[in-house]
Structure 1
Amino acid sequence: MNAPHAAALARSAADAGGPAGPGDPGRGLLDRLDALRGLVSALVERRTATDPTADDPLRGLYLSDEAVHHVLGTWAPVSDADADAGSDRGVVAGPSHGSWEGPDRMARLAGRAGLGALDVALVLVALAPDVDRTFEPLYGYLNDDVSRRRATVGLALELCGVPTRSAAARARLHPSAPLLALGLLEVLEPERPFLTRSLRVPDRLTDHLLGDDTPDAALLGLLRPMPDPLPGDRAAEQFTHRLAALLATAPATVYLREQREGDGLAAYASALRAAGLDGLCCAEPGGHVPELLREARLGGRAVVVPALPAEPGPLVRALVAAPDVTVLLAGTRPYDPHWAPEDPLVLDAPDRRDGGTDAWRAALGTDAGSDGFDLAATVAPYRLGGDRIRRAARAARALAAFDGAPLTATHVRRAARRQSASGLESHTRRIRPAVDWGDLVLPAGPLAQLRELALRARHRDRVLGDWRLSAGGGRGRGVLGLFAGESGTGKTLSAEVVAADLGLDLYVVQLSSIVDKYVGETEKNLERIFTEADRTDAVLLFDEADAVFGKRSEVKDAHDRYANMESSYLLQRLESFDGIALLTTNLRANIDAAFTRRLDLVVDFPFPDAGQRLALWRHGLAHVPSADGIDPAPLARDFELAGGSIRSAVVTAAYLAAGRGDEVTAQDLLEGARREYRKAGRLVPGEGGW
Structure 2
Amino acid sequence: MTYGVRDRREADAAPLGEPSGPGDSAAPGDVAGPGDPSGPGLVDPAGPRDLWERLGGVERRVRRAVAARRAVDPDPDDPYRGQYLTPEAAERILAAPSALHPPPEGGEGWEPLSPGGRLGRLAAGFGLLPLDVELLLVATAPDIDARFERLYGYLNDDLTRRRPTIGLALELCGQPAAGPGRFRFSAAAPLVGGGLLEVQEPGLPLLSRVLRVPDRVTAHLLGDDEIGDALQGVVRIGGGRPEAAAAAQAARVADAVRTGSGLVYLLDKGGDPARLAVDALLAGGRRPLVVDPEALVADPAPERLAQALVTEARLSGGGLVLGPVDALDPRRPERARLLRELCAAAAGVPLVTYGAKGWDPWWTRESPVRFAVAPPPAARRTRQWERALADAAGSGAGEPAPLDDALADAVAPYRLDAEQVRKAAVVATRTAALERRPVGADDLRAAVRAQNSAGLERLARRVEPAVGWDDLVLPPATRRQLAELALRARHREQVLGQWRMRPGGGRGRGVIALFAGESGTGKTMSAEVVAAELGMELYVVDLSTVVDKYIGETEKNLERIFVEAAEVNGILLFDEADAVFGKRSQVKDAHDRHANVESAYLLQRMESFDGIAVLTTNLRANLDEAFTRRLDVVAEFPMPDEPQRLALWDRCLGTEMPRDEGLDLAFCARRFELAGGSIRACAVTAAYLAAEAGRPLGMEQVVSAVLQEYRKLGRLVLESEFGPWLDGGRAGDA
TM-score (norm 1): 0.91
Provide the rounded CA distance (Å) in 2 between the counterparts of 1:553 and 1:35. 86
Residue 12 in structure 1 maps to residue 10 in structure 2: no
Confirm whether residue 124 of structure 1 aligns to residue 137 of structure 2: yes
Instruction: Measure, in 1, the Cα distance between the counterparts of 2:82 and 2:551.
Output: 79
Q: Which residue of 2 aligns with 1:411?
A: 443
Aligned-pair CA distance for 1:587: 1.9
Question: In structure 2, do the counterparts of structure 1 residues 138 and 609 end up closer, same or farther at CA, with 3 Å as the change threshold?
Answer: closer
* Among 544, 557, 580, the residue aligned to 1:548: 580
1:357 aligns with 382
Q: Aligned to 1:506, which of 520, 538, 545?
A: 538
Shift in Å, 1:267:
0.9
Task: Letter of the 2:355 partner, please give it.
Answer: G
Q: Deviations over 1:128-176 (max 9, x none)?
A: 222223433433333334543322222221221112121x111111222
2:290–2:322: 8 Å Cα contact kept in structure 1? yes
Match of 1:207 among 216, 219, 233: 219
Distance 1:522 1:134 in 2: 69
State the match for 1:441 in structure 2. 473
Q: Taking structure 1 as reference, are residues 395 and 551 closer, same or farther at Cα in structure 2, changes over 3 Å only?
A: same
What is aligned with 2:55?
33
The answer on 1:159 being equivalent to 2:161 is no
Given the alignment of the two structures, is residue 241 of structure 1 paired with residue 251 of structure 2, yes or no? yes
CA distance in 2, matches of 1:593, 1:301: 55
Give TM-score, length-normalised by structure 2. Answer: 0.86
Cα separation, partners in 2 of 1:273 and 1:52, compared to 1, 3 Å: same
Task: Answer yes or no: is the 8 Å Cα contact 1:227–1:266 preserved in 2.
Answer: no
SS at match of 1:172: helix
Asked if 1:144 corresponds to 2:169, the answer is no
Aligned runs of 1:485-496 on 2, under 5 Å?
485-496=517-528
Instruction: Kindly state the Cα deviation for residue 223 of structure 1 after the two structures are TM-superposed.
Output: 2.5
Q: Which amino acid aligns with 2:314?
A: R
Structure 1 residue 431: Cα displacement: 1.5
Tell me, what secondary structure is at the counterpart of 2:185? coil
Q: Following superposition of structure 1 onto structure 2, how do residues 247-258 of structure 1 map, counting pairs within 5 Å?
A: 247=257, 252-258=262-268
SS in 2 for 1:75: coil
Q: CA deviation at 1:251?
A: 6.1
Change (3 A) 1:176 1:689: same
Is 2:722 aligned against 1:686? yes
Contact kept in structure 1, 2:197 and 2:213, CA below 8 Å? yes
Q: Does the 8 Å contact 1:454/1:498 carry over to 2? A: yes
Q: Distance in 1 between matches of 2:190 and 2:629?
A: 63
Matched, 1:48 2:70: yes
- What CA distance in whole angstroms lies between the structure 2 residues aligned with 1:674 and 1:238? 71
Distance 1:138-1:606 versus aligned 2 partners, 3 A rule: closer
Q: Secondary structure at the match of 2:587?
A: coil
Whole-angstrom CA distance in 1 between matches of 2:405 and 2:280: 33
Q: Distance in 2 between matches of 1:72 and 1:519?
A: 78
1:73 CA drift (Å): 4.0
1:26-425 mapped onto 2 (5 Å cutoff): 26-49=48-71, 51-54=73-76, 60-75=82-97, 83=104, 86-87=105-106, 89-90=107-108, 93-94=109-110, 100-101=113-114, 103-166=116-179, 168-229=180-241, 231=243, 234=245, 236-247=246-257, 252-260=262-270, 263-283=272-292, 284-285=295-296, 286=299, 287=302, 288-308=305-325, 309-311=328-330, 312-322=335-345, 323-352=347-376, 354=378, 355-365=380-390, 374-425=406-457
Shift in CA distance, 130/558, structure 1 to aligned 2, threshold 3 Å = closer
Deviation at 1:676, TM superposition (A): 2.5
Cα deviation, residue 504, structure 1? 1.3
Q: Which moved more, 1:380-389 or 1:106-115?
A: 380-389
CA contact (8 A) 1:154 1:195 kept: yes
Matched, 1:644 2:677: yes
Deviation at 1:451, TM superposition (A): 0.3
Q: How far apart in 2 are the matches of 1:391 and 1:2? A: 63
Q: What does 1:550-629 correspond to in 2, within 5 Å?
A: 550-627=582-659, 629=661
Task: Judge conservation of contact 2:99–2:178 (CA < 8 Å) in 1.
Answer: no
SS across alignment from 1:578: coil
Distance across 2 between alignment mates of 1:454 and 1:156: 73
1:468 maps to 500
**Which secondary structure does the structure 2 equivalent of 1:12 belong to?**
coil
Tell me how far 1:52 sits from its aligned partner. 4.7
CA contact (8 A) 1:53 1:66 kept: no
Query: Aligned partners of 1:37 and 1:368: how far apart in 2?
Result: 57
Aligned residues: percent identity?
Answer: 48
In the alignment, is the contact (CA less than 8 A) between 1:258 and 1:331 conserved in 2?
yes
d(CA) in 2 for partners of 1:193 and 1:175?
16
CA-CA distance at 1:434 after TM superposition:
0.5
Query: Structure 1 residues 231 and 76 mapped into 2: Cα distance closer, same or farther (>3 Å)?
Result: closer
State the Cα deviation string for residues 571-625 of structure 1 (Å, max 9, x = none). 2222212211112222222222222122112211122111111111121223332
Larger mean Cα displacement after TM superposition, 329-338 or 187-196: 187-196
> CA 1:619 to 1:41, structure 2 compared with 1: closer, same or farther past 3 Å?
same
In structure 2, do the counterparts of structure 1 residues 165 and 686 end up closer, same or farther at CA, with 3 Å as the change threshold? closer
> What residue number does 2:703 align with?
670
Q: Work out the CA distance in 2 between the residues paired with 1:371 and 1:3.
A: 76
Cα distance between partner residues in 1 of 2:237 and 2:426: 15
* Structure-2 change in CA distance of 1:396 and 1:6 (3 Å): farther
TM-superposed deviation, 1:563: 2.4
Call closer, same or farther: CA 1:665–1:571 in 2, change over 3 Å: same
1:56 deviation in Å? 6.0
Deviates further, 434-443 or 318-327: 318-327
1:229 shift after superposition: 4.5
> Shift in Å at residue 58 of structure 1?
5.6
Residue 526 of structure 1 and its aligned partner are, at CA, apart by: 2.2
Secondary structure of 1:688's aligned partner: helix
Q: Which region of structure 1 is more displaced relative to structure 2, 131-140 or 480-489?
A: 131-140
CA contact (8 A) 1:257 1:333 kept: yes
User: Is the deviation greater in 434-443 or in 44-53?
Assistant: 44-53
Retained in 2: the 8 A contact 1:393–1:415? yes
- The Cα offsets for residues 478-518 of structure 1, whole Å up to 9 and x where unpaired, read as 21111122222111111111111111111222222222233
Native 8 Å contact 2:198 2:213 kept in 1: yes
Residue 634 of structure 1 is matched in structure 2 by 667
**Which has the larger displacement, 110-119 or 524-533?**
524-533
What CA distance in whole angstroms lies between the structure 1 residues aligned with 2:436 and 2:257?
44
The Cα of 1:320 is off from its aligned counterpart by: 1.2
Whichever residue aligns with residue 683 of structure 1, its letter is V
Instruction: Measure how far apart 1:65 and its partner are.
Output: 3.5
Number of equivalences: 676
Aligned AA (2:319) = A
Q: Render the CA deviation track for 1:392-448: whole Å, top value 9, x for unaligned.
A: 222222322334432111111111112223433344322111101001111111111
Unaligned runs of 5+ in 1: none
* Farther off after superposition, 608-617 or 42-51: 42-51
Q: Which moved more, 1:636-645 or 1:369-378?
A: 369-378
Distance change in 2, residues 1:143/1:522 (3 Å): closer
The answer to whether the Cα contact below 8 Å between 1:258 and 1:264 also exists between their aligned partners in 2 is yes
SS in 2 for 1:624: coil
Q: Which moved more, 1:281-290 or 1:611-620?
A: 281-290
CA distance in 1, matches of 2:548, 2:185: 61
